Amino acid sequence: MQEIINLLLKHNELKVIKEELDIELEIPHIAYIEVKKEDSKALLFTNPICKRSGKKFDIPVLMNIFGSFKRLSLFAPDSNEIAKEIEVFLKLSMPKNFIEKILKLKQLSTIRYTIPKTTNKALWKDNIYLGDDVDLFSLPILKTWENDGGAFITMGQIYTCSLDGNIKNLGMYRLQVYDKNHLGLHWQIHKDSTHFFNEYKKANKKMPIAIGIGGDPLYTWCGQAPLPYGMYELALFGLIRKRNPKVCKCNTNDLMVPYDCDIVIEGFVDPNIFKNEGPFGDHTGFYTPIELYPVLEVSAISYKNNPIYLATVVGKPPLEDKYMGYMTERVFLPLLKTTNPFLIDYYMPENGVFHNLILAKIDTKYPNHAKQIMHSFWGIGQMSFVKHAIFVPKDSPELDDHFKISEYILNHLDIDDLVISKGVCDALDHSSPEYASGGKLGIDCTMEVESKYKIEILDDNKLLSMIKNKYDEVIDLKQYFVHTKNPITIISIDKQSRVLDHIDAFDNKHCKIVFAIDNKDNDLNNLYMCIWRITNNIDAMRDILIQDGIALIDATAKGILENHNRDWPDDVSCTRSVIDHLCSIGVIERDEELWKKYQIF
């Protein structure tokens, strides 16, 4: 981490903040706002404190190191180059001549870097605390949001292994601090560590856990890489770095952790003990609810001399995960192509928070080929958690050209030809009627479509007046892409009744696709955040109604009106008094325009 700090300073990518700042809200709020700036910097907080306990920490907090494409390029080779290398391995074939043999040997030689090497010396063994000396409160672990259930480790590398020791895994999950020696483990149902945990539970044995913090930033990125089950993420590290990861055995269990981590927390999980975990303001931008999760009893905390505590903040986009997700998206394109050979490219817009929206460019060979491919997508690894998938042909605009690709989609969309089905959802999804199970929406934009209704575009005020005559809960209205075959109308409402019961309020002569959102906390002129809200808040099976050429989509908060029996969470927001204080002491600059743009409050 110290080498990373020096590298960031060299490239003018680090801001050092020396003021005493609170690990509860103050430090994470600063990082949350900073990463949303176009010229954002990584942040090093050299004097973290806890005002509540009166504690001062000797360990600095480093944040936002992945928070720009420039910083990403400092820590890892170009993502597309990594992808090309992976693609070469996936397409290895028998050499045809001597020169090809030499080339193949060169390609195969890099496989040797995927095997970790063991060492008895680790930087993090400079200071070792065992038993009663273990104290999680000695670390500057952050509480990000006012309604969080406590402090959470947010950039921990979680090392686990199967019961027989044959399969190893590196994951990245949040960890809630309960007390000085217990952590809550937020293991979602599809994670490899959960599969391991079920093995230990069946055998009634305690499961060893190790958590690394810091070291090479690529460890952290590899922890969230969606590798197939059974593939060890440290192998990917070796492949990218072109050197074997060097690991050292923990002090109190047999797990191996990279020798150059700054901090290592280790212990065991009793498979029979669960505890309430959460709430936590997560990367969806909403609080996730309190639920039962396994508990880690910490048996040792070790750290190097002069360690750095690495952390991130999650919430409403754009954040650090935007850039980490981009690297993941590029690197794993070749793997997706092995199961979808007609896939050309894919893109996950940051305001779709990854699992809520995917755009895919495909090479269709026959009518409805896209529908076949979309079902294939929903059966592959973490792609199975994607809620909304839009497929376009190979001659469509670039997927990240937001205006042009939106135009193309709306000119090739047939609302009477949507694919709506049910499947597994991300455990963090709050809009699905059941935990981890809900609606999927697939949209085929690979064929030409003819408009069945001639649309006459009215100005916003006239259309609003017309709709309010039939639906008086409507407060405001904004139209987008009115020049396309499928113009978008977004309405904000003061909801008193079920939205879909009002589809007759919309005339197919003037509307085509209508999204309804709550009037509270939404700005119809802010399309970026409207898309974030819409993709979070809809369940395709429950919230879409198509009638007489109109698609009405309910993206409001759900409750008793929709027979939604799960709690609907609040979205995360900074605490205004904290921001005002930080402005008053000159740590951040007041920027109401930026704050409004990304709905900071």
Q: What local confidence, expressed as pLDDT, does residue 96 receive? A: 61
Q: Could you tell me if residue 286 is inside a domain?
A: yes
Q: Could you tell me if residue 27 is inside a domain?
A: yes
Q: Could you tell me if residue 159 is inside a domain?
A: yes
Residue range 282-286: mean pLDDT, rounded: 96
Q: What local confidence, expressed as pLDDT, does residue 227 receive? A: 83
| Residue 97 shares a structural domain with residue 186 | yes
| Residue 353 shares a structural domain with residue 305 | no
| Residue 384 shares a structural domain with residue 519 | no
| Residue 482 shares a structural domain with residue 421 | no
pLDDT at 273 exceeding the cut of 80: yes
pLDDT at 313 exceeding the cut of 60: yes
| Residue 371 shares a structural domain with residue 239 | no
Residue range 39-54: mean pLDDT, rounded: 97
pLDDT at 291 exceeding the cut of 70: yes
pLDDT interval class at 89 (50, 70, 90): low
Residue range 557-581: mean pLDDT, rounded: 97
Q: Read off the pLDDT of residues 178-216 as tens digits, 9 standing for 90 and up.
A: 999 999 999 877 778 899 999 999 999 999 999 999 999
Q: What local confidence, expressed as pLDDT, does residue 110 receive? A: 74
pLDDT at 101 exceeding the cut of 60: no
- Give the CATH number, domain containing residue 494: 3.40.1670.10
Angle at 484 between CA 481 and CA 486, to 5 degrees: 90
Q: What local confidence, expressed as pLDDT, does residue 100 receive? A: 56
Domain extent at residue 360: 339-444
Indicate the range of 261-270, 279-288, 450-459 predicted with least confidence.
450-459
Residue range 300-326: mean pLDDT, rounded: 96
Q: Could you tell me if residue 586 is inside a domain?
A: no
Q: Quick one: what percent of the chain has pLDDT higher than 70?
A: 96
Q: What local confidence, expressed as pLDDT, does residue 545 receive? A: 98
pLDDT at 112 exceeding the cut of 70: yes
The dihedral through the CA atoms of 8, 12, 13, 15 has a sign that is positive
Q: Is the peptide bond before 279 cis (omega within 30 degrees of 0)?
A: yes
- Give the CATH number, domain containing residue 236: 2.30.110.10
The total number of structural domains in the chain stands at: 3
Q: Could you tell me if residue 493 is inside a domain?
A: yes
Q: What local confidence, expressed as pLDDT, does residue 114 receive? A: 87
| Residue 143 shares a structural domain with residue 282 | yes
Q: Could you tell me if residue 199 is inside a domain?
A: yes
CA distance 589 to 332: 38
| Residue 38 shares a structural domain with residue 137 | yes
Residues present in the chain in total: 601
Q: What local confidence, expressed as pLDDT, does residue 88 receive? A: 66
| Final residue before a domain boundary, out of 388, 415, 444 | 444
Indicate the range of 78-82, 119-123, 519-523 predicted with least confidence.
78-82
pLDDT at 92 exceeding the cut of 70: no
- 205 phi-psi bin (left φ>0, alpha ψ -120 to 50, beta other): beta
Residue range 421-425: mean pLDDT, rounded: 92
pLDDT interval class at 102 (50, 70, 90): low
CA distance 220 to 324: 10
| Residue 220 shares a structural domain with residue 171 | yes
Q: What local confidence, expressed as pLDDT, does residue 239 receive? A: 87
pLDDT interval class at 477 (50, 70, 90): very high
CA distance 498 to 562: 7
pLDDT interval class at 591 (50, 70, 90): very high
pLDDT at 41 exceeding the cut of 90: yes
Q: Quick one: what percent of the chain has pLDDT higher than 90?
A: 83
Q: By three-state DSSP, how is residue 382 classified?
A: helix
Q: What is the dihedral of CA 341, 342, 344, 346, to 10 degrees?
A: -90
pLDDT at 94 exceeding the cut of 80: no
Q: Could you tell me if residue 110 is inside a domain?
A: yes
* Mean pLDDT of the residues in the chain: 93
Q: What local confidence, expressed as pLDDT, does residue 83 receive? A: 76
| Residue 432 shares a structural domain with residue 465 | no
Q: What local confidence, expressed as pLDDT, does residue 383 receive? A: 86
Q: Could you tell me if residue 333 is inside a domain?
A: no
Helix residue ranges, H only, 312-365: 320-331, 333-339
| Residue 438 shares a structural domain with residue 478 | no
Indicate the range of 65-79, 107-121, 314-328 predicted with least confidence.
107-121
Q: What local confidence, expressed as pLDDT, does residue 77 receive? A: 79
| Residue 344 shares a structural domain with residue 307 | no
| Residue 212 shares a structural domain with residue 358 | no
